[in-house]
């Protein structure tokens, strides 16, 4: 790769290394500069810019990142579209991360241009949580280095939580307060719910070996997958009340103690082919402890051996550390943005001369193509705004998992339909892809590329597709800008908001003209053929 300054007049075909502010727009770093860009730079008085030009043995950053991401993606993971040399792997469902640490280390040692960052092995994740990110640091990766990394790749995976039935026995002494036992049940039920498990049976008994054994046998009828036992007094030896009760009921104690704090006093046992855990006292608190790590693996159908428990020491210091008088904050797990899909299908079709959204395109109504593209993309849900000929549009979409919203003011123009749709979107979405119902050539891959570019923290709050230097649709817009959109009126959508915020706009190059092609006239419809 060649890197350095070049005269602004000669930069067509090069990648811009640093963003440049021009009148009315920002040319973002990483853009493949066009002849029109060069003209704009010169007109703005820019003499030279720093650019990169790829050599024949370079793999462009997005292609390189995606290739390695796909080599690393195992079960339970979704490969997101690449953008700016980054390709993320996110969890498809809640579960436990499995990975080969040595393989990741080997990949990261091949070439400094190619990096892989992951969560730790056996971390618990929720749906949409970021599990790994592959980043190409410059604008390209050497082909030989990339091929070596792909060959070294051992797939990561997320082992999904299963719907486990869990029982809980609590022992009590004369001084044990029932309120403490009640609170422990609630805390344990909440803890298990994060692992897709259910607390289905509970018992309370005296803190004696015989009582514990009897309670275990009594729960045989509950058809449990995992049995938990919380003692009124902590286990301090393998011959204490809880382990003795487990053995008296025909169980086997495999291990006592773990190098995790809090959670040291964990007991690992088995009876009748199912795991039995003697719980440390810290489980009465909802805070993370060593028992959580063991339970998470069991709830994901992973075997936990004494060797596994003894290997938990590195990273096992979970106790909160006072720092300047305050306990440390728990980090918030990064997740993929939650993006809603919004299809506008309420227009009058004035220039077409007849209702256009239900016209047949390759055997389906035109609007169906637009809606199906959004449904197949990585969006959380899809809303369709109808108006003119609403019944026909709804009929065309029958059976598809979309929310239809009527805009009674559709004749006033596009803005009213956009407002009607935004007001119906869920409160927890981070942004919305606004698509037009008369654009049947946009694909789900195009939409996923817009979503991959979305990063409000990096000043990428408005994502627009471009083809041959021309901006098109759909457009992805962050929630933070919706209030501005709701002030737009007439027959215009989000364009005034896009124009008013050039520093927040990121362009995504699309290699086909479908993002520019809307069907407004009979001639445009005929051109579909």
Beta-carbon contacts of residue 252 (< 8 Å; ≥ 6 apart): 246, 269, 270, 271
What's the average model confidence in pLDDT over 355-368? 91
- Write the DSSP symbol of residue 81: P
Looking at residue 353, its pLDDT comes to 61
Q: Work out the average pLDDT over 161-174.
A: 97
Residues 6+ apart with CB under 8 A from 485: 418, 419, 422, 477, 493, 494, 497
Q: What is the mean pLDDT of residues 260-285?
A: 96
Does the pLDDT at position 321 exceed 60?
no
Average pLDDT over residues 426-453: 96
- pLDDT for res 333: 63
Give me the mean pLDDT over the 23-43 stretch: 91
Tell me what the mean pLDDT of segment 351-378 comes to: 90
CB of 271 closer than 8 Å to CB of 128: no
Whole-number pLDDT of residue 492: 87
pLDDT recorded at residue 351: 67
Nearest by Cα to 81 from 377, 369, 474: 377
Q: How confident is the model at residue 522, as a pLDDT? A: 80
Q: Note the pLDDT tens digit of each residue in 450-472.
A: 999 999 988 999 999 999 889 99
pLDDT for the residue numbered 325: 41
* Cα distances (Å, whole numbers) of residue 440 to 32, 362, 363, 418, 435: 27, 10, 12, 19, 10
Q: With beta carbons less than 8 A apart as the criterion, state whether 17 and 51 touch.
A: yes
**pLDDT (0 to 100) of residue 354:** 67
Contact present, 374 and 447 (Cβ < 8 Å): yes
What's the pTM value of the predicted model, to 2 decimals?
0.85
- Give the residue from 95, 206, 89, 222 showing the smallest Cα distance to 167: 222
For 32, 37, 80, 127, the CA distances from 450, given in Å and listed in that order, are 17, 22, 11, 20
**pLDDT of 59 above 70:** yes
Predicted pLDDT of residue 524:
79
Instruction: Please give the mean pLDDT across all residues of the chain.
Output: 93
Name which of 84-93, 119-128, 347-356, 382-391 the model is least confident about: 347-356
Q: How far apart are CA 219 and CA 167, in angstroms?
A: 8
Asked whether the predicted pLDDT for residue 327 surpasses 50, the reply is no
Domains in the chain and their CATH numbers? 2-53 (3.90.105.10), 58-159 (3.90.1170), 165-318 (3.40.980.10), 339-527 (3.90.550.10)
């Amino acid at each position: 790769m060649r890197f350095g300054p070049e005269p602004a007049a000669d930069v067509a075909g090069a990648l811009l290394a640093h963003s440049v502010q021009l009148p009315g727009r920002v040319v973002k770093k990483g853009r493949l500069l066009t002849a029109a860009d060069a003209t704009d730079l010169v007109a703005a008085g820019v003499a030279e810019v720093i650019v990169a030009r790829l050599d024949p043995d370079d793999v462009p950053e997005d292609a390189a990142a995606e290739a390695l991401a796909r080599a690393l993606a195992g079960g339970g993971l979704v490969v997101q579209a690449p953008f700016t040399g980054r390709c993320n792997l996110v969890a498809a469902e809640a579960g436990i991360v499995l990975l080969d640490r040595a393989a990741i280390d080997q990949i990261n040692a091949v070439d400094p241009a190619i990096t892989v960052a992951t969560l730790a092995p056996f971390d618990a994740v929720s749906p949409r949580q970021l599990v790994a990110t592959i980043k190409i640091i410059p604008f390209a990766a050497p082909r030989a280095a990339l091929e070596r990394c792909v060959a070294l790749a051992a797939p990561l995976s997320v082992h999904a939580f299963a719907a486990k039935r869990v029982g809980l026995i609590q022992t009590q002494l004369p001084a044990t307060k029932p309120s403490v036992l009640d609170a422990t049940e609630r805390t344990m039920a909440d803890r298990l719910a994060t692992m897709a498990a259910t607390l289905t049976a509970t018992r309370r008994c005296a803190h004696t070996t015989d009582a514990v054994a009897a309670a275990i046998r009594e729960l045989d009828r509950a058809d449990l997958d995992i049995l938990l036992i919380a003692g009124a007094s902590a286990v301090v030896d393998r011959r204490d009340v809880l382990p003795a009760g487990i053995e008296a009921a025909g169980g086997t104690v495999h291990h006592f103690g773990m190098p995790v704090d809090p959670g040291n006093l964990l007991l690992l046992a088995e009876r009748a082919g199912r795991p039995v855990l003697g719980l440390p006292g810290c489980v009465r608190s909802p805070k993370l402890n060593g028992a959580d790590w063991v339970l998470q693996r069991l709830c994901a159908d992973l075997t936990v051996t004494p060797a596994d428990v003894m290997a938990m020491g590195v990273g096992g210091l979970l106790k909160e550390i006072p720092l300047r008088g305050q306990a440390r904050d728990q980090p918030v797990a990064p997740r993929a943005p939650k993006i809603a899909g919004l299809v506008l299908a309420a227009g009058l079709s004035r220039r077409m001369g007849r209702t256009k959204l239900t016209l047949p395109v390759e055997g389906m109504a035109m609007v169906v193509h637009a809606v199906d593209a959004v449904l197949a993309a990585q969006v959380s849900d899809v809303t369709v705004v109808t108006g003119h000929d609403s019944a026909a549009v709804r009929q065309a979409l029958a059976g598809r998992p979309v929310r239809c919203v009527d805009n009674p003011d559709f004749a006033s123009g596009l803005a009213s339909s956009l407002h009607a749709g935004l007001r119906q979107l869920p409160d927890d979405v981070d942004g919305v892809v606004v698509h037009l119902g008369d654009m049947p050539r946009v694909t789900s891959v195009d939409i996923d590329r817009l979503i991959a570019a979305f990063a409000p923290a990096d000043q990428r709050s408005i994502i627009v597709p471009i083809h041959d230097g021309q901006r098109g649709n759909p457009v992805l817009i962050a929630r933070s800008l919706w209030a501005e959109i709701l002030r737009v009126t007439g027959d215009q959508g989000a364009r005034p908001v896009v124009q008013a915020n050039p520093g927040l706009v990121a362009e995504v190059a699309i290699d086909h003209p479908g993002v520019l092609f809307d069907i407004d006239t009979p001639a445009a419809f005929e051109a579909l053929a």
